[in-house]
């Protein structure tokens, strides 16, 4: 304890405050980059001459790279020191952000987004670790509250900032704006955080486990991203990727369960509370992220919305969450977390069911309302679920469990993005074919030609209407499936036993 007191005495209150703001800003930047590109995908796709489906690789590549790198955070901090690694990660993040903005092809942009994710992955947990080293226990709560607010603000600001920049400047600037923030954080870290640097040690790393992790996740994500363009399992390459991902996953599990220093400690899954909690988290976060991906693309491609207004609709959920986050934190000690989670997830499911009745004639206010109301439930799902999962493992396993929880959450985001776009595309084709089968366009075509349309113009107009209606039917189908998944998750959470009291959630990230 005297060692901790010595660390705190080295920092003045002003230095602590500035350090806290810098760490919160760095976390905001990384979280922001997960959603800032979502509303810009149509702009990027148009500029690079690719389909919007291919454009989503920009989202999934970042999420997958971040997920793979998160389990390495503990080893990197022990091996090189947490302040040094935080600084290097910020330098790498700023550099790859510039390269993303300078990209002239999809291949270059995806490669740079992977680099961005690799560097961004450790920033989130390390910023939290540094906050705990900078602030003494009596002021730690407020500091962690500021950090948590940036985690909630990121998804809210991302679509709005991304949309505004894409509409008024250029999509390249959604990446360039990271550079001044990264530079500020690097210099501030060197000036403020050196006194709280951690000791270094030559700790072993599970190289085989890491290689297997990269291998099976890479095969799975490539399969999901290109499968819809290759007619899925009708293509031998997709079959080969699926087999390799499955074999790699099995070998990874066997290796990690027998390795003395695993890169991902899978043994924590023996706790029923942790397993059911993480499973619930992956279902809920995947379903929640589905709307963040589908809504902006639908609004821009079919409804004539600009990226800015599509971003505002998308961001309403996270904006509402800011109001209820303090209430959720206070209720944690008074109400069974399972009840809070179950009710919140069911609430989000009801909002998804509400959105499953959207039509092509819907106005802005009717879209914003369920988005905003849904947001009130988010903190009641996210904050208690962290306590439930970490409260189900042994105290010495908390750090491993927190890292694994973040890994699963980030992977759920990437996989859900691929799956939801596949479902959306398939539903569009089915709806279009069904409408074409029952449509009797002769009368409509005659009416259109009667008011001055040429035959070709009349046919194109009818085709456009069918296409627009097929897209909105597909959107409704995605939301209906999301609602079913969310209602299922609301039940699954009750498999977990009630968590123990006084859970240390400081390792969560």
pLDDT digits (tens, 9 = 90+) for 337-346: 888 888 999 9
Within the chain, how many helices (H) and strands (E) appear? 21, 0
Distances (CA, A) of 78 to 2, 82, 142, 197, 204: 21, 7, 27, 11, 10
Q: What is the pTM (predicted TM-score) of this model? A: 0.76
Nearest-angstrom CA–CA distance, 20 and 118: 23
For residues 60 and 222, is the Cβ–Cβ distance under 8 A? Answer: no
For residues 170 and 104, is the Cβ–Cβ distance under 8 A? Answer: no
Q: Which residues contact 67 (CB under 8 A, 6 or more apart)?
A: 117, 121, 217, 407, 410, 411, 414
CA atoms within 13 A on the CB side of 441: 17
Please tell me whether residue 248 adopts helix, strand or coil conformation. helix
- Name the class of domain 1-204: mainly alpha
Residue 506: the pLDDT is 47
Residue 91: the pLDDT is 93
Residue 72: the pLDDT is 79
Topology at the third CATH level for domain 271-509:
Growth Hormone; Chain: A; (1.20.1250)
Residue 7: the pLDDT is 56
Residue 500: the pLDDT is 58
Tokens standing for residue 240: 């080969």
With CA atoms as reference, report the closest residue to 249 among 220, 280, 207: 220
304: left (phi over 0), alpha (psi -120 to 50) or beta: left
Distances (CA, A) of 431 to 33, 298, 416, 467: 34, 15, 22, 9
Signed CA dihedral, 7, 9, 10, 15: sign only: positive
Residue 445: the pLDDT is 67
Residue 347: the pLDDT is 92
Mean pLDDT by 10 residues, the chain (509 residues): 52 77 84 76 78 75 82 77 86 92 86 89 80 73 70 74 82 87 88 74 79 87 77 82 91 87 80 85 83 82 81 81 78 79 90 88 87 86 76 72 78 81 82 73 68 71 78 89 90 78 50
pLDDT digits (tens, 9 = 90+) for 209-266: 888 888 888 888 888 777 777 777 778 888 898 899 999 999 999 988 888 777 777 8
């Amino acid at each position: 304890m005297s060692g901790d007191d010595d660390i705190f005495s080295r920092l003045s209150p002003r230095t602590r405050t500035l350090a806290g703001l810098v760490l919160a800003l760095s976390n905001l930047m990384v979280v922001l980059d997960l959603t800032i590109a979502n509303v810009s995908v149509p702009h990027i796709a148009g500029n690079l001459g690719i389909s919007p489906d291919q454009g989503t690789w920009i989202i999934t590549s970042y999420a997958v790279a971040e997920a793979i790198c998160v389990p390495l955070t503990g080893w990197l901090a022990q091996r090189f020191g947490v302040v040094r690694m935080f600084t290097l990660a910020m330098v790498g993040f700023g550099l790859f952000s510039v390269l993303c903005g300078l990209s002239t092809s999809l291949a270059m942009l995806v490669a740079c987004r992977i680099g961005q994710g690799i560097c961004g992955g450790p920033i989130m947990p390390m910023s939290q670790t540094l906050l705990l080293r900078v602030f003494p226990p009596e002021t730690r709560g407020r500091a962690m509250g500021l950090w948590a607010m940036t985690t909630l603000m990121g998804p809210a600001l991302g679509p709005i900032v991304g949309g505004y920049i894409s509409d008024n400047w250029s999509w390249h600037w959604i990446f360039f704006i990271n550079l001044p923030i990264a530079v500020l954080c690097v210099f501030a870290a060197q000036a403020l955080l050196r006194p709280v640097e951690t000791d270094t040690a030559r700790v072993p790393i599970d190289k085989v486990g890491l290689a297997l992790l990269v291998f099976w996740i890479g095969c799975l994500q490539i399969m999901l991203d290109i499968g819809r363009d290759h007619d899925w399992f009708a293509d031998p390459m997709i079959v080969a990727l699926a087999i390799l991902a499955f074999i790699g996953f099995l070998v990874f599990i066997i290796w990690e369960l027998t390795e003395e220093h695993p890169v991902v400690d899978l043994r924590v899954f023996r706790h029923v509370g942790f397993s059911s909690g993480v499973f619930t988290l992956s279902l809920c976060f995947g379903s929640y992220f589905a709307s963040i991906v589908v809504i902006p693309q639908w609004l821009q491609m079919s409804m004539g919305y600009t990226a800015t207004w599509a971003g505002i609709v998308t961001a309403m959920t996270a904006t509402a969450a800011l109001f209820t986050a303090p209430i959720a934190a206070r209720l944690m000690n008074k109400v069974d977390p399972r009840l809070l989670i179950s009710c919140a997830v069911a609430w989000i499911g009801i909002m998804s069911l509400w959105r499953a009745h959207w039509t092509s004639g819907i106005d802005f206010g009717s879209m914003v309302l369920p988005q905003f109301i849904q947001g009130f439930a988010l903190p009641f799902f996210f904050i208690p679920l962290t306590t439930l999962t970490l409260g189900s493992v042994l105290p010495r396993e908390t750090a491993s469990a927190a890292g694994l929880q973040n890994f699963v959450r980030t992977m759920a985001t990437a996989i859900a993005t691929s799956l939801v776009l596949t479902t959306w595309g398939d539903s569009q084709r089915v709806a279009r074919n069904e409408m074409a089968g029952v449509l009797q366009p002769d009368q409509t075509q005659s009416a259109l030609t009667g008011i001055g349309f040429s035959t070709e113009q009349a046919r194109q107009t009818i085709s456009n209407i069918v296409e627009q209606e097929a897209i909105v039917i597909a959107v409704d189908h995605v939301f209906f499936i999301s609602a079913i998944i969310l209602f299922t998750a609301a039940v699954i959470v009750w498999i977990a036993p009630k968590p123990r009291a006084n859970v240390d959630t400081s390792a969560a990230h």
